[in-house]
Amino acid sequence: MDPTSQTDTDSEEEASDADDSETEEETDSDTDEDTDSEIDTDDELAVYRKIYGATDIYKDGDYVVIEMEGIPDHGSPYYDGSEWQDRYEENDERSFNQNPNVIQSVDRTVRIPLYPTEATDHQATALGTMGVALNGVAFFNQYAGPNNQPLTNEIYSFDQYNGHPQSSGVYHYHLEPNYLTEQESIGQDGLLGFLLDGFPVYGPMENNVAVTNDDLDDYHGHSHETEDYPDGIYHYHITAEDPYINGNGYYGTPGTSTQ
Ligand SMILES: [Zn+2]
Ligand SMILES: [Zn+2]
């Protein structure tokens, strides 16, 4: 375990990309935590440790805190001075329209409910980080900008791994993170990450069949058991069709993402 719990004391905390100021996180749990319960804690967090791109993962009351820098562990033409531009053009059939942004490392802290439950109000996802992929890259929703602008044109600025950076350098996926789904250990039916409400996100295949929007509810998920959750859980699926990751808002109550 890394003893340096780095708190950036100097940084006046900037609001996250589009953070509808989520207020008071209730700290009701008088934490008698840790020490004696090391093993239980580890078990509870085991599934979150699959987020291999995180710089730190720990429990805080009823939340899991995930810290990350948000930079992809794969090539991209959006890395400054990258040689991947050529490779992209060789390999891709789309006409690529690179945006002017460059990938930047951005320290981010995401807090998600450890015991997610269905919300009664199903809040809409905001622009900006709505979840975390296993490699520590952000998931963004199906819109390119305010007023539900579709991704129609933005799609052409996605790199060979379906990601791109926004203006402050935050790299993100709106679609299937195919760098992950191409990994044998993950695959197209594997766990790909979590949304801020704590519910997991799975890939576009299930039992060797492509998942379509028709298989999913308004929020783009459904419930059944998975390898990681043998007792069953609600989970989102990434599909090939709009809205791709999330549909009409969070199934549960979202935690926070701050940078
Ligand atoms: Zn984007
Ligand atoms: Zn499923």
- pLDDT at position 7: 38
Query: Over the stretch 160-171, which tens digit does the pLDDT of each residue have?
Result: 899 999 999 999
Q: How far is the CA of 171 from the centre of ligand 1 (A)?
A: 8
What value does the mean pLDDT take over residues 96-125? Answer: 95
Q: How far is the CA of 129 from the centre of ligand 1 (A)?
A: 10
Least confident of 15-29, 83-97, 126-140, 176-190: 15-29
Query: Over the stretch 2-28, which tens digit does the pLDDT of each residue have?
Result: 444 443 333 333 334 443 333 334 444
Q: How far is the CA of 78 from the centre of ligand 1 (A)?
A: 13
Ligand nearest to the CA of 238: 2
Ligand nearest to the CA of 172: 1
What value does the mean pLDDT take over residues 245-259? Answer: 97
Query: Over the stretch 200-210, which tens digit does the pLDDT of each residue have?
Result: 999 999 999 99
- pLDDT at position 95: 78
Q: Would you say residue 145 has pLDDT above 80?
A: yes
Ligand nearest to the CA of 162: 1
Q: How large a percentage of the chain has pLDDT more than 70?
A: 79
* Alpha carbons within 13 A on the beta-carbon side of 28: 2
Q: How far is the CA of 100 from the centre of ligand 1 (A)?
A: 12
Q: Would you say residue 84 has pLDDT above 90?
A: no
The pTM is what?
0.82
Give the per-residue SS3 of the chain: CCCCCCCCCCCCCCCCCCCCCCCCCCCCCCCCCCHHHHHHHHHHHCCHHHCCCCCEEEEECCEEEEEECCCCCCCCCCCCCCCHHHHHHHHCCCCCCCCCCCCCCCCEEEEEECCCCECCCCCCCCCCCCEEECCCCEECCCEEECCCEECCCHHHHCCCCCEEECCCCCEEECCCCHHHHCCCCCCCCCEEEEECCCCEEECCEECCEECCHHHCCCCCEEEECCCCCCCCEEEEECCCCCCCCCCCCCCECCCEEEC
Query: Over the stretch 47-67, which tens digit does the pLDDT of each residue have?
Result: 999 999 999 999 999 999 999
Model confidence at 91, pLDDT cuts 50, 70, 90, reads: low
What are the sequence ranges of the domains in the chain? 35-258
Do residues 195 and 131 touch, judged by C-beta distance below 8 A? yes
124 or 94: whose pLDDT is higher?
A: 124
Q: How far is the CA of 237 from the centre of ligand 2 (A)?
A: 6
Ligand nearest to the CA of 137: 1
Ligand nearest to the CA of 227: 2
Least confident of 37-41, 157-161, 182-186: 37-41
Q: How far is the CA of 49 from the centre of ligand 1 (A)?
A: 26
Do residues 257 and 63 touch, judged by C-beta distance below 8 A? no
- pLDDT at position 133: 98
Ligand nearest to the CA of 173: 1
116 or 42: whose pLDDT is higher?
A: 116
Ligand nearest to the CA of 138: 1
Residue type present at position 116: P
Q: How far is the CA of 172 from the centre of ligand 1 (A)?
A: 6
Ligand nearest to the CA of 225: 2
- pLDDT at position 259: 94
Ligand nearest to the CA of 166: 1
Q: How far is the CA of 256 from the centre of ligand 1 (A)?
A: 19
Ligand nearest to the CA of 223: 2
Q: How far is the CA of 140 from the centre of ligand 1 (A)?
A: 7
Q: How far is the CA of 94 from the centre of ligand 1 (A)?
A: 17
- pLDDT at position 43: 83
Query: Over the stretch 170-229, which tens digit does the pLDDT of each residue have?
Result: 999 999 999 999 999 999 999 999 999 999 999 999 999 999 999 999 999 999 999 999
The overall average pLDDT reported for the chain is 85
Nearest to 164 by CA among 257, 76, 258, 93: 76
